Amino acid sequence: MSPTPLPIEMRPFVLTRWRAAWLASLQYWRRWWFVMVAYPVFGVLGLSFSQDPYVRGVAIVALLWPLSVPLRSLMRSAAMRRRFGERHTPFVYEDFLAMETEGGQSKGFKLPFAAVRDVDCTREAYLLHLGRYTYMVLPAEAFADQKARAAFEKHLRKKVGIVRPIQRSERL
């Protein structure tokens, strides 16, 4: 007997590589904002006050490092592009999240909630972190309404250890 999905109304979505990379880099900036500020400050101070070429070289790298975040996210999202380049419909089950392509082709997959380390919730999407630098993006348009998002988030809180809520600054 196959399991039946939970009564959380979901809609099909297409996630582009650029959007996945942008959402992941935004979340990285939100999570590590103090590092994103500290490195460039060190870079400016190092370039301003040091004459040592090695310190100046490190300062230039520190100054430019935050700009590399979207590029690194874009490189990491290549596999996501292959996976989500088509329309997918998510289905929430008790122990896993299933993604099916239209027509039920074999490109669908199951993501067990036990494999999710933590989740970042934003207005735009849910970022399910599976490992170091490995994540899955579930965009907000995959949910039929706010009630479906609330039910999904409640289920996530039962199944995943760490679920970070939407930050206050995003509600403004």
Token pair 């996210």 is at which residue?
73
Q: For 32-171, where are the alpha helices, taking DSSP H only? A: 33-49, 53-64, 68-76, 78-84, 146-159, 168-171
Looking at residue 1, its pLDDT comes to 47
For residue 144, what pLDDT is reported? 92
Q: What is the pLDDT of residue 107?
A: 61
pLDDT at 106 over 60: no
Domain with CATH 2.30.29.30 in the chain: 1-16+85-167
Residue that the structure tokens 């995003």 belong to: 170
Could you tell me which residue, 143 or 15, shows the higher pLDDT? 143
CATH architecture of the domain with residue range 1-16+85-167: Roll (2.30)
What pLDDT shows up at residue 146?
92
**CA distance readout (Å), 163 to 15, 21, 126, 152:** 22, 20, 10, 12
pLDDT in tens, 126-164: 988 888 767 888 999 999 999 999 999 999 999 988 888
Q: Three-class SS of residue 66?
A: helix
d(CA 116, CA 156): 10
24-74 per-position pLDDT tens digit: 888 788 888 898 899 999 999 999 999 999 999 999 999 998 888 888 877
The mean pLDDT of 81-104, rounded to a whole number, is 80
Classified as helix, coil or strand, 35 is helix
Task: Categorize the per-residue pLDDT at 10 as very low, low, confident or very high, splitting at 50, 70 and 90.
Answer: very high
pLDDT of residue 27: 79
